[in-house]
Structure 1
């Protein structure tokens, strides 16, 4: 019998729908893809590190704050490569706020003045988000996120007008003209589109609705992206398997509903997006989603350590944490996947500004763009 696969996942930096929390500027969802014969050996490696740390349960966030913790973190990352494939997505929250602005107001399905920015043109849309971040104060995005949590015609209309005026002052006439299209019927469609989010989509299938505070958070798109990525990896390996995620009281029911939603959609491929990656609909090769307490599952602790290690790399990139030799070595272990392009649905991704990506890759690319 072909050995099954298990993906162990955990996240770090979750702040719900608060994209601009200065204390948590990075969101990471990460874990390990493990073949059945390697489960026991990997668990033993985790237990060895746990005993060395003298902790009842490995907590990557705490390990990141001490020299001993970082060394043991590096040790676990090195040993894990013998047992599993690392999988992760890194999200720069400030950039994601700007990308939400683009997705909300510059969707050509609702705003005819955004027809120059097709939905599948992810590279162009990322470039627009980068441009917004570069020319507008953070306060514009803070006001947008506040309105986005509970969208109304009045609140989103005011935000669109404010962006239009600021972009005209900045000399970005094409963008300003596009934001000016968010009026009348277009604005009505934008508001309706935001209200008919994941909550309505799962209700249409007879599932428990996903609350706006969940679907509007980064945990939702990162989880949806990851389960489809894992499903694609299962398909390519010719094996089936399950996902094991750390328990979370806030998102447990919504994650379960999301999993069923994508399961019912099935693994349809809807073509490719601008950067050549596969646009995947649902899932068909992941048999189950299991939520467990990390205290009872060593490999979830390993997922937490990986997520925290990646979050540390992000904090260094933002200048919020000092780099050292151990962190750099950890970066050289886990970051190279971000510059590989042989995957049409890569196990590693980073949703972030170009500046952040450049600084994130500092441990593996000398002299990144300053």
Structure 2
């Protein structure tokens, strides 16, 4: 029996197949081949309350393959100019220089000149703790006081996280339970729910407080199981990598890009890597859904591969390390209210510009940090370009 859409005549079918092969070859030839070089900075595993590393950044550079040679040549020249010859290029090494931001500004502008785009995800760990507390205790699956539709109430949840941010005792207890990685006793979870109720009660939102009272034993058992997740899913990487993949897919879908991802080595993340690999498939009938102002994708047909590499042997992954380290340094300063120097401001203005133009980065951070960054980044843009 002939396959639907193909001729039953073998000769005619051969002609059809040859035409299809030519069409696919032409389509493949028209694709832009690119690589995303990826790393992270500020990783503290499941310890989200590490005061020495309050910000985590995961990201890198999307580079058209034809630009790679020119980037490497100019990168080598800059290394010679700034005395960075020999060994692996790491932000931890560059950051010790007095002119670290000037060095990085040259490297950053080099990448932009060659059409490379920075993609990254920023996480303020205090805000991440507050958001994770809300996701856990305000989940309709465990909390009968909440309508099932509250699962998608992202703006309301964000507001609750903002209100929890000053609750240091609550966040410290949640952080400890999260770091331990074991299912805590029912009484301990119930006590934390009561602390949350009292906090919102003091803040004058009685209805929110009431959602955290009168849990049944069954609900508490379901809720406390959330704390027994795998190590990778309790890490910042377990949350940032899926978000980063969504940013990439959202950028590539309207464009003829075939992307390979090269990520610095990840150890003990087998389940997360398996999750990513499952995304690399052709789109299905239900391939995306609207989420806020954007879309959430269930597949990544534009990605041709996801591979782990040793950064020592891949210079552009080293540039991803520099990007993440620099961005982490800047957002830590923003978080702490510290002044940025002229080179940092210049890069921030470019970062602000590409965010609006390409939506190539995003962040989980409180509104105050967004406003502080935007104020500095856009003010520098106006100063530089007079608009």
TM-score when normalising by structure 1: 0.85
1:119 aligns with 2:151: yes
CA deviations on 1:103-152 (whole Å, 9 max, x unpaired) are 10101232122328722222221111001114x2x121111122233233
**Which of 361, 369, 373 is the aligned partner of 1:348?**
361
Identify the residue that residue 292 of structure 1 maps to in structure 2: 309
**Which of 40, 43, 50 is the aligned partner of 2:79?**
50
1:66 aligns with 2:97: yes
**Which of 86, 107, 131 is the aligned partner of 1:99?**
131
Identify the residue that residue 26 of structure 2 maps to in structure 1: none
CA deviations on 1:165-204 (whole Å, 9 max, x unpaired) are 2322333312211122543333233234555x5xxxxxxx
1:257 is displaced (CA, Å) by 1.9
**Which of 167, 173, 177 is the aligned partner of 1:143?**
173
Q: Residues 142-181 of structure 1 correspond to what in structure 2 (within 5 A)?
A: 142-148=172-178, 149-154=181-186, 155-180=188-213
**Which of 308, 319, 322 is the aligned partner of 2:325?**
308
Identify the residue that residue 239 of structure 2 maps to in structure 1: 221
Q: Write the distance in 2 (CA, Å) between the matches of 1:111 and 1:16.
A: 28
Secondary structure of 2:35 counterpart: strand
Q: Which runs of 5+ in 2 are unaligned?
A: 1-28, 381-387
Q: Write the distance in 2 (CA, Å) between the matches of 1:61 and 1:174.
A: 47
Call closer, same or farther: CA 1:284–1:189 in 2, change over 3 Å. farther
Q: Write the distance in 2 (CA, Å) between the matches of 1:21 and 1:81.
A: 33
TM-score when normalising by structure 2: 0.81
1:95 is displaced (CA, Å) by 0.1
1:322 is displaced (CA, Å) by 4.7
Check the 8 A contact 1:3/1:37 in 2, yes or no: no
Q: Residues 1-370 of structure 1 correspond to what in structure 2 (within 5 A)?
A: 1=29, 2-51=31-80, 52-55=82-85, 56-83=87-114, 84-115=116-147, 118-134=150-166, 136=167, 138-148=168-178, 149-154=181-186, 155-180=188-213, 182-192=215-225, 195=228, 212-251=230-269, 253-263=270-280, 268-274=286-292, 276-319=293-336, 322-338=339-355, 340=356, 346-366=359-379
Q: Write the distance in 1 (CA, Å) between the matches of 2:83 and 2:379.
A: 32
Q: Write the distance in 2 (CA, Å) between the matches of 1:183 and 1:177.
A: 14
Q: Write the distance in 2 (CA, Å) between the matches of 1:221 and 1:38.
A: 31
Check the 8 A contact 2:352/2:378 in 1, yes or no: no
Q: Write the distance in 1 (CA, Å) between the matches of 2:71 and 2:334.
A: 30
Secondary structure of 2:263 counterpart: strand
1:365 is displaced (CA, Å) by 3.4
RMSD after superposition = 2.4
Call closer, same or farther: CA 1:131–1:269 in 2, change over 3 Å. farther
1:73 is displaced (CA, Å) by 0.4
Q: Between 92-101 and 316-325, report the one with greater CA deviation.
A: 316-325
Structure number with bigger Rg: 2
Q: Between 261-270 and 17-26, report the one with greater CA deviation.
A: 261-270
Call closer, same or farther: CA 1:117–1:143 in 2, change over 3 Å. farther
Call closer, same or farther: CA 1:159–1:307 in 2, change over 3 Å. same
Q: Which runs of 5+ in 1 are unaligned?
A: 198-211
